[in-house]
Structure 1
């Protein structure tokens, strides 16, 4: 079905712009339950998709089943990514086991490639309809398109990604300034459209006595809590065991809520002035939790404005695209919201509307032209993918950033930009640089494989940027960064000592 297909004719609290019909199959009113296929918003709170599924279950007088599955053959599958997701599944199982929760949770972990094939179709045969998540990146859009053809009943996909519904934008925005100006015009109409903090508490839903035995026999309910408690059990899965678990960064909604509390209480007031200082560690650290859906941007926004006692009447009347002044807050808070809203939504805008967002050819014409003109320039240093991966370069600051990525699953935001710029400088071609950045980021970063990670990678090559002077070897008119200049701008000595 096209992206603007109309949803099934049923009114609920979920905004219509966030509901999309994935196929034109009818509802099975004789089904045993409503099925929510949780694939991106892996949380039980602040979730438009779960809210929509609960509303359907109440409307039809049917129980609600939440299927959360994890395949083992996705690209870059590893102990690190599996552990983060499974820890979230354990949190969801505990949340939905509470007596106040009117939903049956079905966690499934694929043990061998292909073992999970047929599970969704089998469940859909007994379901009234299927509700799932509308995430525009990685393999998920393709998976949903295939599933929509295979399931036997209605399938809806729900957008719970950002403050602005993805379908509210009128085009692909190629600069942050332009999207910011559009947001300043369009976003006020959507700021009051927040998902329920606890959608299952809002509806009266019958309880399912048990999951279908003939299905759970073939696809057993996973013991996610046992695996989350003992991550050595991941050895049984055919995934990359060399990319290890980040023990200091556990996955799941519980860890996400702790991270949110800590940031709002201890770091938010320092964010504007100190976020670019690696040794201060005042960045939010939300990105892995936002990526895997363990945390909702709607909750972050709601609790931020509640803490600041902010109301929409403080918004500036004129949309001028400025990064400060529009929210009517102190600069440090506006700086955080510009990252959380403008830059985050910029990536979702691109991925939801341009299928080639991962391809070099999707760069702006001026960037491709200047990079092409300098593709044959001499490189003082060049490194292979393996040398980059092992942090085996001549630059101690770059090596430290790469070591942080390998050890901790992320790079400090400011140094991530330098990390990418040096890869561009030290590879044989900009196409090679893109391939190295994608491979290392998606393999090791907990927030990789995300619209925002592609925004950052392609920004290195000119996306969302402008031509800069003077023209330089290799970079041409692409913005240049150096380790020496970075070290002069921010304090990196302790950072290098920690990660060398």
Structure 2
């Protein structure tokens, strides 16, 4: 498209021509690269190819990061062979900065790959406002570039007719790369470029603040070499039968599975189209050129509308709004949908294909996408959910073709269908139960639930606190065999609830939690949707000697309902947990497995990997002699905390707050526990008192009765009100309650020994910190077994003759 910006590209002081590579990640048949070479030659300036991956793109995860890094590794090698200057920057801890902006300001002109969807459109527009450098976007994704078609088409036959001549001219045309005869930039850069040929991609990804719960896909590695290997295999054994087999989602080799490589431009659509023409593969070409490029042109002309219902036709929007109030027979939260546990067999298999393998056959994707309208509270929410789950898990997510497929589910590129139906109105229906009858569901399930790697490891997790639970669930959702062991009678660790014979309940451990990180916040919102969690809107104050010093209600707080350990039980659902089992020792078995030994010196089984989710004084001895991790863990000191639970006979009329941080007292926190959502009592009120760390250390071995007496007296002094008649009192000692110093790392992992550790003493001393730590250690394990590791092929060739 035309350059954007105001300055003359021949202006003095410009150091180079900059090519920002992001969606044409290849060193051949790349129009963006060739345009950059031509400008460098014309302006007499050196060329610099800049490729970067940041942490802020939507749905950034280990899966997307790894695929991009693998592609970058290939293009780095390819451009080096051509003598082209290529630099790669990965945003991570210690290397963050506005490097693209700064490079653009130093350049005579910026050449960018055209990608007509967010975040690229937004980033490009910000560069226009921040820099005077001209910006030129080049379409390297389409055989018919988007500037050649002057409007958006919404029907495939109309687009086919309008572009017939253009395709006839361009599909078979040979592509000739520009010679790399311009100078190459060798000056200073504001960052250290990464040599990806020697880099450990798993370690690089671990250093990024992204979603570590979505694993890389061993079966679909990124890069030009892997992309063309798949294309060559498909040409040999799948292309000729494509028209006959393409609609069978149970036929894993019936389609090319190239969409992720096209999305990032790791293979050339120009080459693929040219070679497919030699096979007279008309139906494949129709999908590649007409349907795929129709979506690109549509997104180019529609802009930001494609992320909303403004991206569908008026008739579809009107009919969906007219039926927005129709009764939904089911409602599913984001978490239920994302994990594929709705209870509908076909839909769940579709979602688990996305979750485990980053792909979903287009024929079932259409049925998968239609279901959101009936399972969410509004058409807007349905589209939002479809976009989220597709873009988060699919390797081709955020592609214009993805938008095309999703918007089709809501009526785009289609026509009204009569008669009207509940919820859908006149939008074309695709019922799950009807589709399930048309597909070989057993065969489809074998494709979906194939292992994510050739040899999936078995995993033991010692400790069923929040970190251990989310680690276990993340691994289990990816198909790994996981078993948890906990010495207690229930899950949750300090996310605990005391139940009494009188029917009282006290949250005597974690009192509430906050959510600051989006990786955790999306789960919290889903738990609220499911009724597992509720906002705690009680009045929280700062208290000293009966005087309220200030309000402490600036941070949203949440509690599980009706008790805190309900959240732990929710996370533990369907996990294999062995309770009242103390793991006292790890024994090495051979060179790659571990045997767990209990307190009675009995074997608890053998496992390939072991993760410790215990307090540091318990994790360190388990790992001692096996891994240097134990030395790091030994440096962590945990403070104790005495907790007192009391039920007052009468409700207080003078204490007009629900919780308080207490100063100058043996207490650090007090809370009217019965004021939390779902915890009302028939009479009186329940209070939980937490002692300060200093007082708990001083009185660590005191008799619980004496502790209760002392802290109840401190309650009276802190509030200015005597506790009065108490119907229930008990004290509980948390020996390892709060970490004094938290490790900077979100978890610890020893890839050589296959041992890891996680908990709230890694990354952050809160429920949120524990959750993210468990997610991080699961990510460490998943990266280790998937990145550049053999995939599972069930003893079959990828493309079998049929």
Q: In the TM superposition, what is the alpha-carbon distance from 1:72 to its structure 2 partner?
A: 1.1
Which residue of the partner structure matches residue 351 of structure 1?
299
Which residue of the partner structure matches residue 371 of structure 2?
422
Q: In the TM superposition, what is the alpha-carbon distance from 1:375 to its structure 2 partner?
A: 1.8
2:271 counterpart of 1:294: no
SS at match of 1:157: strand
SS at match of 2:2: strand
Query: How far apart are the structure 1 equivalents of 2:444 and 2:289?
Result: 28
2:123 to 131, 143, 155: 143
* Cα 1:267/1:192, change in 2 over 3 Å: closer
SS at match of 1:107: strand
Task: Answer whether contact 1:417 1:456 (CA < 8 A) is retained.
Answer: yes
2:245 counterpart of 1:274: yes
Task: Answer whether contact 1:51 1:195 (CA < 8 A) is retained.
Answer: no
Query: How far apart are the structure 2 equivalents of 1:453 and 1:82?
Result: 19
SS at match of 1:225: coil
Which residue of the partner structure matches residue 64 of structure 2?
81
Q: In the TM superposition, what is the alpha-carbon distance from 1:154 to its structure 2 partner?
A: 3.3
Which residue of the partner structure matches residue 130 of structure 1?
110
Which residue of the partner structure matches residue 262 of structure 1?
233
* Cα 1:422/1:29, change in 2 over 3 Å: same
1:115 to 74, 77, 96: 96
Which residue of the partner structure matches residue 601 of structure 2?
none
* Cα 1:114/1:277, change in 2 over 3 Å: same
Query: How far apart are the structure 2 equivalents of 1:492 and 1:113?
Result: 49
Unaligned runs of at least 5 residues, structure 2: 450-802
Query: How far apart are the structure 1 equivalents of 2:342 and 2:94?
Result: 37
Which residue of the partner structure matches residue 253 of structure 1?
224
Q: Which stretch of the first structure deviates more once superposed, 422-431 or 435-444?
A: 422-431
Query: How far apart are the structure 2 equivalents of 1:136 and 1:398?
Result: 30
Which residue of the partner structure matches residue 387 of structure 2?
438
CA offsets, 1:151-182, max 9 Å, x none? 45433221222111212213211211211121
Which residue of the partner structure matches residue 322 of structure 1?
none
2:8 counterpart of 1:37: no
Matches within 5 A, 1:346-425: 346-355=294-303, 356-425=305-374
Which residue of the partner structure matches residue 6 of structure 2?
24
Structure ID, larger Rg? 2
Q: In the TM superposition, what is the alpha-carbon distance from 1:232 to its structure 2 partner?
A: 4.0
* Cα 1:435/1:104, change in 2 over 3 Å: same
2:177 counterpart of 1:205: no
SS at match of 1:21: coil
Q: In the TM superposition, what is the alpha-carbon distance from 1:76 to its structure 2 partner?
A: 0.8
Query: How far apart are the structure 2 equivalents of 1:111 and 1:230?
Result: 13
SS at match of 1:59: helix
Task: Answer whether contact 1:58 1:203 (CA < 8 A) is retained.
Answer: no
2:41 counterpart of 1:58: yes
2:103 counterpart of 1:103: no
2:77 counterpart of 1:94: yes
Query: How far apart are the structure 1 equivalents of 2:117 and 2:382?
Result: 21
Which residue of the partner structure matches residue 313 of structure 1?
none
Task: Answer whether contact 2:391 2:398 (CA < 8 A) is retained.
Answer: yes
Matches within 5 A, 1:452-467: 452-467=401-416
Query: How far apart are the structure 1 equivalents of 2:335 and 2:28?
Result: 41
Q: In the TM superposition, what is the alpha-carbon distance from 1:189 to its structure 2 partner?
A: 4.0
Query: How far apart are the structure 1 equivalents of 2:104 and 2:381?
Result: 43
Q: In the TM superposition, what is the alpha-carbon distance from 1:185 to its structure 2 partner?
A: 4.2
Query: How far apart are the structure 2 equivalents of 1:186 and 1:498?
Result: 39
* Cα 1:79/1:44, change in 2 over 3 Å: same
Task: Answer whether contact 1:176 1:464 (CA < 8 A) is retained.
Answer: yes
Task: Answer whether contact 1:38 1:67 (CA < 8 A) is retained.
Answer: yes
CA offsets, 1:94-131, max 9 Å, x none? 11222xx13111111111499230x2344345434322
Which residue of the partner structure matches residue 180 of structure 1?
160
Query: How far apart are the structure 2 equivalents of 1:430 and 1:297?
Result: 34
2:214 to 243, 246, 268: 243
Q: Which stretch of the first structure deviates more once superposed, 294-303 or 128-137?
A: 128-137
1:220 to 192, 203, 211: 192
2:287 to 336, 339, 342: 339
- Which protein has the bigger helix share? 1
Query: How far apart are the structure 2 equivalents of 1:175 and 1:371?
Result: 20
Query: How far apart are the structure 1 equivalents of 2:95 and 2:427?
Result: 44
Query: How far apart are the structure 1 equivalents of 2:380 and 2:79?
Result: 46
Q: In the TM superposition, what is the alpha-carbon distance from 1:34 to its structure 2 partner?
A: 2.3
CA offsets, 1:325-345, max 9 Å, x none? xxxx4xxx2111111011111
Q: Which stretch of the first structure deviates more once superposed, 73-82 or 424-433?
A: 424-433
Task: Answer whether contact 2:171 2:274 (CA < 8 A) is retained.
Answer: no
Query: How far apart are the structure 1 equivalents of 2:75 and 2:130?
Result: 27
Task: Answer whether contact 1:130 1:156 (CA < 8 A) is retained.
Answer: yes
1:284 to 231, 256, 268: 256
- Which protein has the bigger strand share? 2
* Cα 1:394/1:94, change in 2 over 3 Å: same
- After TM superposition, the score normalised by the length of structure 1 is 0.84
Task: Answer whether contact 1:36 1:53 (CA < 8 A) is retained.
Answer: yes
Matches within 5 A, 1:479-494: 479-494=428-443
* Cα 1:155/1:461, change in 2 over 3 Å: closer
Q: In the TM superposition, what is the alpha-carbon distance from 1:67 to its structure 2 partner?
A: 0.7
Task: Answer whether contact 1:172 1:353 (CA < 8 A) is retained.
Answer: yes
Query: How far apart are the structure 2 equivalents of 1:60 and 1:495?
Result: 56
Query: How far apart are the structure 1 equivalents of 2:425 and 2:107?
Result: 57
Task: Answer whether contact 2:19 2:36 (CA < 8 A) is retained.
Answer: yes
Task: Answer whether contact 2:68 2:222 (CA < 8 A) is retained.
Answer: yes
SS at match of 1:143: helix
